[in-house]
Structure 1
Amino acid sequence: MIILRTYLEFVVSRLFGTGVDTFVLWICSHYLFEGYWGVYIVSPVISFEFAVMSNFICSYCWIWKNRISGRCMRDFWIRFFVFNLSSIVAFLVKMLFLLIFEKMFGWGVIWCNFAALLISGLLNYFLADTVVFRKCFVSTKREA
Structure 2
Amino acid sequence: MIRRYGEAVKPGQHYRRRPGVYAVLRDGDHILTTFQQNPKPEFQLPGGGIDAGEHPIAALHREVMEETGWTIRIERRLGAFRRFCYMPDYDLWAEKLCSIYLARPVRPIGPPTEAGHSAVWLPAAEALTLLGNAGDRAFLAQAMRHPR
With normalisation by structure 2, the TM-score equals 0.28
Q: Which has the higher contact order (CA 8 A, sep 6+)?
A: 2
Greater fraction helix? 1
With normalisation by structure 1, the TM-score equals 0.28
- Which structure would you say has the larger Rg? 1
